[in-house]
Amino acid sequence: MLPKGTFILGGAASGKSEWAENLILSSGLNCTYLATGRALDDETILRVKVHKSRRDARWSTIEEPLDLTAPLASLSADTPALIDCATMWLSNQMMAEADLDRATETLLAALRGCTAPWVIVSNEVGHGIVPENALARKFREAQGRLNIALAREADLAVMIVAGLPQVLKGTLP
């Protein structure tokens, strides 16, 4: 049985999305994939195709780059949701010049109010060098704060390194 909330963290290309997909499929239930990314270039289009190729008929997909409130509220308790990913969601918020504190509180409230188990994937961006430009530094700081908030909200927090889960909080189902 899935925890109410699961936070999956990892570096780029660490296997976190695939691991999260397998975790949520272990419930045996049909699942909802809440896609936050926008395919605006060839590289992203290819990455989206790879992600979609792993999903079968057990998945329904909702594409929502900014406001996850309505999709999360629409889920029934027996339809776990995979939100992939918090990093793209945050990037979209920044590009829309949203109030990040308010957007984060809205997201956290939506997660708290969601009756379905949720799994949210996010990138760990704090292990690299300090970015040389101000926007990248602002993003790194905002991502770090968002990751802290999501980890606090979750019952289970897992760091994926080289495709391997390292439990940070809670117990694997």
Across the beta sheet with 118-123, what order do the strands follow? Answer: 59-63, 31-35, 81-84, 118-123, 5-10, 156-161, 164-169
Residue 160 sits at the vertex; the CA angle it makes with 154 and 166, to the nearest 5 degrees, is 75
Q: What is the DSSP letter of 12?
A: T
Angle (deg, nearest 10), helices 134-153 and 86-95: 130
Asked if the peptide bond before residue 85 counts as cis, ω within 30 degrees of 0, the response is yes
Catalytic residue, chosen from 38, 47, 51, 169, is 51
Torsion of CA 70, 44, 142, 113, to 10 degrees: 20
Q: Is 127 a catalytic residue?
A: no
Structure tokens at 85: 């990913």
Write out the catalytic residue numbers: 51
